Structure 1
Amino acid sequence: MREVLEKQGLRFGAFMAPYHANLNKSVHLALHRDLDLVEHLDRLGYDEAWIGEHHSAGVEVIASPEIFIAAAAERTKHIRFGTGVISLPYHNPLMTADRIIQLDHQTRGRVMFGFGPGALPSDVHMIGRAQTELRTNVMQGFDALLPLLRGETVSMKTDHWELKDARCHILPYTRPHPQIFMSSAVSPGGPRIAGTYGLGLLSATTSSDAAFNALQAAYDIWNDAARQNGQTINRADWRVVGNFHIAETREQARANVRHGLGQWLDYFQRVATFPVAKPGAHAATLDEQIDAMIAQHTVIGTPDDLIARIDKLWEQSNGGFGAILDCAHNWADYPATKRHYELIAEYVIPHIQRMNDARSRSWDWAEANHLSGMAERDKGVAQEFALWEQQRKAAELASR
């Protein structure tokens, strides 16, 4: 039987690569603003924040998600953190396992481990790797890393690293280890690997026709691979990323994103290779690009528009997913960005999670019984006046 989730259990979070596409602004201030944003999300009650790893191109400026998460965890109380993602081919698996275990302890179990092959060809070039090697490299790394997280001893040699009687000298805070997620975009490779190992799935974008359509098959690929390999998976361990910006009105949302959307698009059309913006779109006007993005499953509008988009993503997934992650960006200036997250917390999350159902039922009941309640109140008031009159008369008689 196909597993189905109830939408009111959907979690909300942010996917922070992060994207700072204006190369004229201070990267120092941008990094500290990212930390401030995570604090803001924690105060608003968001569930998760996922932090990326990149080493080139000057836009996605966090090189170590572990360092960022360690700092952010000290500033927050409740929000959980995911590495979104650590590029396993770049690292020795023992070093990666040790850092995740330490972070698991420092956050007291608020960390999730997301991994993938690496997204920027420029990163891959600088460390002397070939794009064609990455899929093999990432699985070699994970084949060593998983038993290390479990406290096992590993000896393994590849073209890029060697382990001799390697073991982690401390065990994770979370037993047997933190939740693990495999990243995925459009191809079936991510869901297949996640299913093979019984991992969570991180669908890193839904803002293109190809990525949106891939959601329809992702669960079946993930589940089939799990079944064939004796694993079990859970839709609650599926994270779906989308590109959104909302404001009080559609007109205000469009005005807000004129601040930085053009630079963000320029990055994806000229530098990055992720499928979120069509090549050649930079030739159109910004308004035409906004229209094209909205047609390609992006939300630039109101809370109601975002609610409708989440409904479509839910329907497309054939049974639901565990969390929706808003892809953090600088389309709007910082005050409008913070307001965007406030509007999601104020209107979208309560609607999706049906937080106000009991309040609405209580209102409806009180409204339906309003007239009878008024009559009962008037009856009670009249009774009090009658009692008071009776007591007054008794007092007069007693004083004679």
Structure 2
Amino acid sequence: MSEQHGPTRFGFFIAPYHPLTGNPTLQIHRDLALVELADQLGYTEAWIGEHHSAGLEIIAAPEVFLAAAAQRTRQIRLGTGVNSLPYHQPMMLADRLCLLDHLTMGRAMMGVGPGQLATDAAMMGIDPVRQREMMHESMGVLVRLLRGETVTARTQWYHLEEARLQLLPYRPEGLELAVASTMSPSGAVLAGRHGAGLLSLAASDPSGYEALLPNWKVYTRTMAEHGHTVDRSRWRLVAPMHLAETREQAMREAEWGVGHLVDYIEKLSGRRAPWHTSAGAAVRQWTGEGFPAFGRATIGTPEDAIATIEKLAEQSGGFGTFLLLGLNVADWDATRRSAKLFAEQVIPHFTRANRNRVASLERAHANSERMIGGLTAGIQSAFEQHGQALATALDDGTGA
């Protein structure tokens, strides 16, 4: 793999997923603690999802959560991952994101998508067939409002009359936008049309993995058609991982919470999973053929994580940011250790943080004979020059 193909930025994509048996208040605060830990460990981004039903993904307003996270962190960038555009009047959403951008002093990012859960759309009376069309209708208005334009627009679900934002994004270059993409090219087309970044949420799913390069080609062609410059560093890939010192330990730790994911998959699909015989069997399935919607997980060592990311880089041709899918599959102590292992051993591999240190030691090794010889000669010369003074000191009556 060419070194430049690997990501140089890393973060978390937190839906989040939580067992139904836990305390929801503490679970939300645990998500805040994970973002705080990520900031301390030098991760560059954290993305928070929006969901309104099905029980496990319990953050309904990511911008509210991120405002709280901003008060606990210093430098990590904070993104909505994602705002479901059909659920919001676009001017109101743009207003909230601009406020968040100022509260975070320019650390905010806006991820957008059509909405994932059919139960969310059903409660709001939204036809699932129209969700992507609605996303396109909203995105065109959002981009114009965030540029400071005055917009009049009418659709079946919103009406704007000379709408404009009174508060624009914090930075002159505006608010960074990213569009969710999975298997279909819809997200790539929308991102390319408006010059937004691409957020590939299903990179570890076999179908999503195979779609990475085709969707990138759609994205680059659409970007060119609309006069935008393509930048691979704005491409983000998401995959689930849990790390430990050994693969066996990581697998055991993942057994702690894999059951709630299996139950979630079964409840949403209405089908019994054949591998729901034990936690161990579920983890083996997840790291093998994978789970529906969650794809294949890397549950192992930092070396396993590096191998997975390198495969993603080869498959995609190169991307800028890798995001760990936050699943709460292990308990909190194991989750923290995993985040630390990734920061300590995986991130430096791709950022090449130690390249000069390695080069320095290699130079010392390559020149060791000459340098040690010079050092030895220097010590001998010092003894020869000052030998008489040393002898006198030893024999002057105070020594010996």
TM-score class, shorter-chain normalisation, is over 0.9
Give, in angstroms, the shift of residue 7 of structure 1. Answer: 3.7
Indicate yes or no: 2:280 matched with 1:287.
Answer: yes
Query: Aligned with 1:147: secondary structure?
Result: helix
Residue 326 of structure 1 corresponds to: 324
Distance in 2 of aligned mates of 1:48 and 1:229: 28
Cα gap change, 1:267 to 1:390, in 2 (>3 Å): same
Amino acid at match of 2:302: P
Whether the 8 Å CA contact 1:42–1:78 is kept in 2: the answer is yes
2:32 pairs with one of 35, 39, 51: 35
Say if 2:146 and 2:174, in contact at 8 Å, map to a contact too: yes
Aligned residue in 2 for 1:10 = 8
1-structure distance, mates of 2:393, 2:124? 99
Partner AA of 1:290 in structure 2: V
Distance 1:298 1:394, change over 3 A: closer
Change in 2 beyond 3 A, CA 1:232/1:369: closer
**1:71–1:386 CA distance, 2 compared to 1 (3 A):** same
Paired position in structure 2 for 1:370: 368
The equivalences for 1:145-164 within 5 A come to 145-164=142-161
Aligned counterparts of 1:330 and 1:24: Cα–Cα separation in 2: 13
**Selected match of 1:138 from 132, 135, 140:** 135
Q: Helix, strand or coil for the counterpart of 1:361?
A: helix
Q: Which moved more, 1:208-217 or 1:302-311?
A: 208-217
Scaled by the length of structure 1, the TM-score of the pair is 0.92
2:302 — aligned with what? 303
Residue by residue over 1:178-220, the C-alpha shift from the partner in whole angstroms, topping out at 9 and shown as x without a partner, is 1111111111111111112211110112232101111121210
Q: Shift of the alpha carbon at 1:171?
A: 1.7
Asked whether 1:101 is paired with 2:98, we answer yes
- Alignment deviations for residues 221-246 of structure 1 (CA, whole Å, 9 cap, x no partner): 10111122333221111110001111
Distance 1:346 1:55 in 2: 35
Q: 2:333 corresponds to which residue?
A: 335
TM-score (norm. length: structure 2): 0.92
Q: Which deviates more from structure 2 when the two are superposed, residues 280-289 or residues 359-368? A: 280-289
What CA deviation, in whole Å up to 9, does each residue of 1:223-275 have, x standing for no partner? 111122333221111110001111100000000001001211221232279xx
Q: CA deviation at 1:323?
A: 0.3
Change (3 A) 1:243 1:380: same
Cα distance in 1 between the residues matched to 2:306 and 2:124: 42
Cα deviations by residue, 1:345-398 (Å, 9 ceiling, x for unpaired)? 1100111111112111111221222333322222112122122224468999xx
Q: Please tell me whether the aligned partners of residues 143 and 194 of structure 2 are also in contact (alpha carbons under 8 angstroms).
A: no
Partner of 2:226: 229
Residue 8 of structure 1, CA deviation: 5.6
Distance change >3 Å, CA 255–CA 119, structure 1 → 2: same
CA contact (8 A) 2:6 2:313 kept: no
Q: Where does residue 63 of structure 1 map in the other structure?
A: 60
CA drift at 1:14? 0.3
**Equivalent residue of 1:252, what SS?**
helix
Aligned partners of 1:207 and 1:243 also within 8 Å: yes
**Match in the other structure for 2:313:** 314
Per the alignment, do residues 5 and 249 of structure 1 end up closer, same or farther by CA in structure 2, a change over 3 Å counting? closer
User: 1:132-184: CA deviations, max 9, x gaps?
Assistant: 11111111111211111111111112222211111111221122421111111
SS in 1 for 2:79: strand
SS in 2 for 1:181: strand
2:354 and 2:6 map into 1 onto residues whose CA distance is 11
Deviates more, 1:326-335 or 1:206-215: 206-215
Provide the residue aligned with 1:211 in structure 2: 208
Letter in 2 for 1:329: L
**Structure 2 runs not aligned, ≥5 long:** 291-295, 395-400
Could you tell which deviates more after superposition, 190-199 or 372-381? 372-381
Distance, in Å, in 2 between the alignment partners of 1:32 and 1:272 is 29
Q: Secondary structure at the match of 1:84?
A: strand
- CA distance 1:132–1:9, shift in 2 (3 Å): closer
Deviation, 1:9, is: 5.3
Check if 1:170 corresponds to 2:167. Answer: yes
Alignment deviations for residues 295-350 of structure 1 (CA, whole Å, 9 cap, x no partner): 34420111000100001000110x20110000001111001001001001110011
In 2: Cα distance, 1:246 partner to 1:96 partner: 37
Q: Which runs of 5+ in 1 are unaligned?
A: none
Moved more, 355-364 or 121-130: 355-364
Further displaced range: 113-122 or 295-304:
295-304
Aligned position for 1:194:
191
> One-letter code of the match for 1:6?
Q
The one-letter code of the counterpart of 1:92 is Q
SS in 1 for 2:242: strand
Partner of 2:383: 385
Tell me which amino acid in the other structure corresponds to 1:19.
Y
More moved, 200-209 vs 224-233: 224-233
